Amino acid sequence: MILVSHPFGNANVRALLSALHEADLLAKYVTTLGWSGRSPILALLGRKLRRREYDLPGEKIQTEPGREFVRLLAGALGLRKIAAHERGWASIDQVWRSLDEKSARYLCANKRRQQIDAVYAFEDCALNLFEAANDLRARRIYDLPIAYWETAQRLLKEEAQRYPDWEPTLGGTRDSADKLARKTRELGLAELVICPSNFVLESLPQRARDTKPCLVVPFGSPAGADRLYPSHTTHTGHLRVLFAGALTQRKGLADLFAAMKLLGSTQVELVVMGSLLQPLRWYREQFPAFTYEPPRPHHDVLRLMRSCDLFVLPSIVEGRALVQQEAMACGLPLIATQNAGADDLIDEGETGFLVPIRSPEAIAEKISWCATHRERISGMGIAAQRRAATLTWRGYGEKVLAAIQSLTGQ
């Protein structure tokens, strides 16, 4: 039996939980806020909290809601101090550490009764659980959703030098030595490492790759996105280029702005959707000619994607940006970097284009090609949809489950 710990329940977590539950191997899912989809209380919850619904029986879910509830409340009320990076009582880091401690206590109290043979935890939320599992001789599976910290820190510090004005958007450059040391200890205790892309795998220290199994399991794509809304794509008019994600240079937005300046074309419209890390006027000072779209529910994100022609994500540090597959499923070709986790998604000139990191010139060249070859975009979009459709969440869950079973012998 497997104990899984994660604060928020992302799509990959849900796919894993589904696979474990179907195989009758899920002992408990420990999270912050979460409810069974079969619970009568669900109808009383608001839309935001209903996102924490899981297709699991209630007895499979163990919650630790306090800090996460305060974090959400602080965000709604603009109470920044209590959620300040690392130090705030309800910061994301403290939410994760609190859950890690809760998971470790749960394992110690229930390992024998529930016959827990292994634990599955994620970066920044695994150390206490892994230490307890090591003491109790339970196997330890580590999910690394983004590039390992040594690689990430190097790249982000280089970006802070390239674009000093963008440094406040990078975030990871402010991680404390203690936080980084915890990441090192987590990886050291892991017996199996699950990575979402080749970039994440290659970011691991060589010693880790040499001494423990490290597996790439790509995320799944949303099913049926191409049927939800009609595409507007035509061969005339503006080429609508979409960027979606946090407005940070970690995702290469400064390079995309620089590429748009190089293009200087009135035939290309840049649409930027995502959370602001600086005031909107600050981004306008970097590049004024873009259409800003705020964050929105997932079905409205897909609707926006279907109104565009091309998706661009020139990330510097990423894991596997799921938004790429969502865009492909909506019929958008990609322009992206290997560091966005896109190398296996892109067949050059067929589903999109792979560009080097830190190359506004290459981004501009590919956008310009798309603008002057509008008749090719529809065909590339169909090819992108077909590629995205080969990656399913069920397949993701089955691959991770097979790796866990290989480790545990179950």
Whether residue 383 is found in the same domain as residue 397? no
258: its two tokens: 């620089």
The domain spanning residue 378 has which CATH number?
Answer: 3.40.50.2000
pLDDT category, 76, cuts 50, 70, 90?
A: confident
Whether residue 268 is found in the same domain as residue 356? yes
φ/ψ (deg, to 5) at 224:
75, 15
Mean pLDDT, rounded, for 331-342: 95
Mean pLDDT, rounded, for 106-120: 96
pLDDT category, 50, cuts 50, 70, 90?
A: low
Angle (deg, nearest 10), helices 298-306 and 322-329 = 50
Q: What percent of the chain has pLDDT over 90?
A: 77
The pLDDT value given to residue 236: 56
Whether residue 245 is found in the same domain as residue 157? no
Neighbours of 356 (CB within 10 A): 12
Whether residue 374 is found in the same domain as residue 263? yes
Whether residue 204 is found in the same domain as residue 80? yes
Mean pLDDT, rounded, for 233-246: 81
Q: What percent of the chain has pLDDT over 70?
A: 93
Whether residue 299 is found in the same domain as residue 154? no
pLDDT digits (tens, 9 = 90+) for 122-148: 999 999 999 999 999 999 999 999 999
How many domains is the chain partitioned into structurally? Answer: 2
The pLDDT value given to residue 238: 86
The pLDDT value given to residue 228: 47
pLDDT above 70 (res 88): yes
Distance of alpha carbon 273 from alpha carbon 142, whole angstroms: 31
pLDDT category, 230, cuts 50, 70, 90?
A: very low
**How confident is the prediction for the chain on average, in pLDDT?**
91
Whether residue 314 is found in the same domain as residue 380? yes
Whether residue 255 is found in the same domain as residue 155? no
Sequence letter at residue 44: L
The pLDDT value given to residue 38: 60
Q: Specify the range with the lowest mean pLDDT, choosing from 81-90, 358-367, 388-397.
A: 81-90
Whether residue 234 is found in the same domain as residue 206? no
pLDDT above 50 (res 370): yes
DSSP string, 263-309: H--TTEEEEEES--SS-HHHHHHH---EEEE----HHHHHHHHHT-S
pLDDT digits (tens, 9 = 90+) for 1-31: 999 999 998 899 999 999 999 999 999 999 9
Whether residue 269 is found in the same domain as residue 398? no
pLDDT category, 165, cuts 50, 70, 90?
A: very high
Whether residue 30 is found in the same domain as residue 97? yes
Distance of alpha carbon 230 from alpha carbon 121, whole angstroms: 39
List of long-range contacts for 281-287, beta carbons under 8 Å, 24+ apart: 283/247, 286/165, 286/254, 286/257, 287/257, 287/260, 287/261
pLDDT above 90 (res 35): no
pLDDT above 80 (res 232): no
Residue 115 domain boundaries: 2-220+393-408
312: its two tokens: 């661009």
The pLDDT value given to residue 81: 86
The pLDDT value given to residue 262: 95
Q: Which residues contact 318 (CB under 8 A, 6 or more apart)?
A: 146, 147, 197, 199, 250, 251, 337, 339, 340, 341
Mean pLDDT, rounded, for 267-275: 95
Q: Which residues contact 301 (CB under 8 A, 6 or more apart)?
A: 244, 273, 323, 326
Comparing 96 with 229, which gets the higher pLDDT? 96
Q: Specify the range with the lowest mean pLDDT, choosing from 166-175, 311-320, 375-384.
A: 166-175
| Top mean-pLDDT range of 28-37, 74-83, 231-240, 294-303 | 294-303
Whether residue 209 is found in the same domain as residue 318? no
